[in-house]
Homo-oligomer: A and B are copies of this chain.
Amino acid sequence: MKLNRQDCIVLDAQDQLAAYREKFSLPESEIYLDGNSLGAMPAHLPARMQQAIAGEWGQGLIRSWNDAGWIDLPQRVAAKVARLIGADADEVMVGDSTSVNLFKALASALRLNQGRKVILTERGNFPTDLYIAQGIAELFDAEIRYVDSDEAAVLAALDEDVAVLMLTHVNYRSGRIYDMKKITALAHAAGALCIWDLAHSAGAVHVDLNAAKADMAVGCGYKYLNGGPGAPAFVFVANRHIEDVRQPLSGWHGHARPFEFVQRYQPAAGISRMQCGTPPLLSMLALDAALDVFDGLDMPQLRAKSQALGDLFIRLVDEKLADFSFGIASPRDKELRGSHVALTHAQGYAIVQALIARGITGDFRMPDILRFGFAPLYVRFVDIYDTVEAIAEIMKNQEWNQDKFLTRKAVT
């Protein structure tokens, strides 16, 4: 039996997380399926940031480092992130970008695993992960071994030369999830350390870094964590490693006694040593406030809704788009799939633009991927229905085939 729109409205009425949508401020009548690129704005953010800007900065001035607790803000935000990724509060630090944090983690891992010189990764990893690894390889005279984005290929390439295995937990294109626990165990058995990029995991997919015995991880603040554009990223280092970690971005905020102004760098005890310079506080205050949406949220329930949204999308694509040469680039098995679904189509770019013109926002990834992110906190079942209906109409009417949709923009 085919699903109709009313069935989806019923699913929304039964959804125990439906009320979370009210915690976000979304444009009227927009269907936003790009929360995996930039999370939506929590509704309380403008008022909170007004207070932070006009109050803490404007009136509190330099005193706010003490009086508003800016000095401990990275630790407080980190504790909120830690809960979402199966880490202890003192294993996570927030600040800098994902790229910069990956640089710290990779350098630390190569120093911990001296004598080995190979960084193992997949060539389909997110580009900045590859680029940072290339920068690190040049500095440490290391080698990068690239394999296909496939568990068997990764495991086959683990040998006694591999110092560190660097993988992204949920692939940014396909949405495929690696089995973190299994792969980490096999990497450890081969004598390698594991760094996981959680950019497309944190806040939407079940992550338990400590159950998986992960060594290090990094992740993004502006996707499913909804921290705002360019929100600070996070870095995780397992407690068993932290006192041996030496990361080369040895700025004053990672010093044992930053305000004693001594001449010699001495890393702070614990995870604070992963800090570098003064963090971008306005951006971090936004992330801090955004994470409050997750207070008391049941993460398995969130994951179940994300899976149900993805399953519904795939089912409707099968039902409604069979005539239009779409491929499904994501796993059909919900256990192997993150919180987005990727379609493929030769006219993918123009189809995404035609959807945007109809108020439905997904995104496009080269060369032919249409990516639809299902942020379970604010995407409704009926949104999925309306999106697939809209794609079907766009295809039937050749609505995508207009100059304005075919011309590329700077950021796609």
Contacts and interface: CB of A to CB of B under 8 A. Distances in A.
**Copies, count:** 2
Nearest to A369: B261
A411 B100 contact: no
Contacts of A286: 53, 282
A280 interface: yes
A132 B251 contact: yes
Given A134-B250, A222-B278, A283-B282, A410 B66 contact: yes
Contacts of A253: 99
A63 B250 contact: no
Nearest to A232: B280
B100 A135 contact: no
Interface in A6-64: 25, 27, 30, 32, 34, 37-38, 40-41, 45-46, 49-50, 53-54, 56-59, 61-64
Interface stretch (A122-130, A150-158, A162-170): A122-130
A105 interface: no
B61 A252 contact: no
Contact of A228 (B57, B96, B230, B363): B57
B57 A41 contact: yes
A329 interface: no
Q: Which of A128, A146, A412 has the most CB of B within 10 A?
A: A128
Nearest to A37: B62
A263 interface: yes
Contact of A230 (B45, B98, B279): B279
B54 A229 contact: no
Contacts of A138: 248
Interface of A: 25, 27, 30, 32, 34, 37-38, 40-41, 45-46, 49-50, 53-54, 56-59, 61-66, 70-72, 96-100, 103, 123, 127-128, 130-132, 134-136, 138-139, 146, 222, 228-233, 248-253, 255, 258-265, 276-284, 286, 356, 361, 363, 365-366, 409-412
28 contacts: A32-B61, A38-B61, A40-B58, A41-B57, A46-B50, A49-B53, A50-B50, A53-B286, A63-B356, A63-B361, A65-B411, A66-B410, A66-B411, A96-B100, A97-B279, A98-B277, A99-B277, A127-B261, A128-B251, A128-B277, A130-B263, A135-B248, A138-B248, A222-B278, A230-B281, A259-B366, A282-B282, A282-B286
Given A135-B249, A261-B366, A282-B286, 13 more contacts: A25-B54, A41-B58, A66-B410, A97-B277, A97-B278, A132-B250, A134-B265, A135-B250, A146-B263, A222-B278, A231-B282, A232-B280, A233-B277
